[in-house]
Structure 1
């Protein structure tokens, strides 16, 4: 009988991605119906996901906005179905306060906001009202324009300053500090060099004292390093490398498409570091 070892060192939590969108960069159109979405969610839960991140609007470069009404129609039935089947924590990936409110009412407990509560003037107050955990992510511009020649004088310092300012804004509105997460926004208004600099600087972000979420799964910078990975589904190796680096530097969670493979990699890493 094979001996089963438990990693002696805590690994980051693994957030599995469930997109109910027709145009997400990696899995757009695969899980358009609530039935398809719940089946995918069940699969990720069975693979060991710690959190599920539900998205109803693509934030890929050049993506068009979806109405609040349509986004709610996409995500709420899925969240309700997942909540009936499992008590796994659910994150809602949205910029819109109205969608976040509907999602939390349906059973979500985390608001993952790529706009860092900037989409609406009411967003910080809504986050405080909901009392859920909030992920504040850095994005230069908006999804439709963020990759149009992004420039920084010092990408690490500017992203750090932005995230700290947004955390202060959230707390001023009434969001408890212990509810706030930070995400440097890999791929959101960054060149390959910017992404690599932010990944190298992860210890600096972890040292800020907030949990850090890292989302590098299947991102385009991997294909810039390995041109053979033109399709998003060909970027597993690069995704694992980035998330293993995140695990070694102390990020609190990683947001991924490939849950089983990521958990296996992180558990092996944790076992090696704890040996």
Structure 2
């Protein structure tokens, strides 16, 4: 179980973390929510669709134009404050690896720091602790921010993901982050080739068995596109949802996604099959 802003999420009551990128060059939406008001409208949309968390990013993960700390602050801090003012109950996450950004967005109202680059800046967890915020601990192998994997190899990628993320999680708790607000993320595609991402998917139960709540970021990733023959980002929804269903069945509790409605339907269907959620309507055969 993970607790964020007083709300609890686990495998039986999972959360959808909607992606809102304040970047002009994101791989999926190509800057569609870069403008302040457009991004705010996107938050309104996903909140209305039932997203429990929004994940706000100011720098795309892939290589691209250099984004300074000041520029990332300009893209995120005022926006976080605006979202917090309009949505007092919504859990706000910020996707950053920089402690300077973490400090500012926590002061603006962020509840969770999504450290997508696996402790590259160790001060980020310290910042989360100082503000009572949560943190996501990710596995990126030896990758550094905004780099792509190149001929990366593991003896056992799942074992490596477990070792790295749990060590980061324990360190976060040691510096003062509330244990119940720490998540681990195998980080599909980050520091991994497609076979690695597929392995951590089918072995996700091994991460769940650590006892740390597991977040997965699957949405329209390259491993989905490659698995299905080289599909571009806009054609990866079906593969993403199939992967979502597997990860839900295996026990993940937070799902970072572009497509909120479809993701929630998959999670609800898995819960109905598992027996932890009743069908919304069950009249077939009763008339």
TM-score (normalizing by structure 2): 0.87
- Shift in Å at residue 51 of structure 1? 0.5
- Shift in Å at residue 82 of structure 1? 1.4
Equivalent of 2:192 in 190, 193, 196: 190
Aligned mates of 1:242, 1:152 — CA distance in 2? 22
**Counterpart residue number, 2:208:** 206
The verdict on how the C-alpha distance between 1:32 and 1:115 changes in structure 2, with shifts beyond 3 A counting, is same
TM-score (normalizing by structure 1): 0.91
Q: Secondary structure at the match of 1:17?
A: strand
**Counterpart residue number, 1:136:** 137
**Counterpart residue number, 1:21:** 23
The verdict on how the C-alpha distance between 1:189 and 1:228 changes in structure 2, with shifts beyond 3 A counting, is closer
Aligned mates of 1:104, 1:28 — CA distance in 2? 27
Q: Is the 8 A contact 1:15 1:255 kept in 2?
A: yes
**Counterpart residue number, 1:267:** 268
1:147 is the counterpart of 2:149:
yes
Equivalent of 1:215 in 210, 214, 217: 217
Aligned mates of 1:269, 1:41 — CA distance in 2? 26
What is the number of residues matched between the two proteins? 264
Q: Is the 8 A contact 1:18 1:37 kept in 2?
A: yes
Aligned mates of 1:168, 1:56 — CA distance in 2? 27
Higher-RCO chain (CA-CA 8 Å, sequence separation at least 6): 1
Aligned mates of 1:198, 1:19 — CA distance in 2? 26
**Counterpart residue number, 1:5:** none
Question: Which ranges of structure 1 fall in alignment gaps of 5 or more residues?
Answer: 1-8
1:110 is the counterpart of 2:112:
yes
**Counterpart residue number, 1:70:** 71
Q: Secondary structure at the match of 1:182?
A: strand
Q: Is the 8 A contact 1:34 1:77 kept in 2?
A: no
**Counterpart residue number, 2:237:** 236
Q: Secondary structure at the match of 1:18?
A: strand
Residue-by-residue CA offset, 1:71-116 (whole Å, 9 max, x unaligned): 1110122212211221211001100111111111111101110123
CA RMSD of aligned residues (A): 1.6
Q: Secondary structure at the match of 2:201?
A: helix
Question: Which ranges of structure 2 fall in alignment gaps of 5 or more residues?
Answer: 1-10, 279-287
Q: Secondary structure at the match of 1:108?
A: coil
- Shift in Å at residue 64 of structure 1? 4.7
Q: Is the 8 A contact 1:11 1:247 kept in 2?
A: no
Within 5 Å, give how 1:27-106 maps onto structure 2. 27-60=29-62, 62-87=63-88, 88-106=90-108
Q: Is the 8 A contact 1:63 1:143 kept in 2?
A: no
**Counterpart residue number, 2:126:** 125
**Counterpart residue number, 1:3:** none
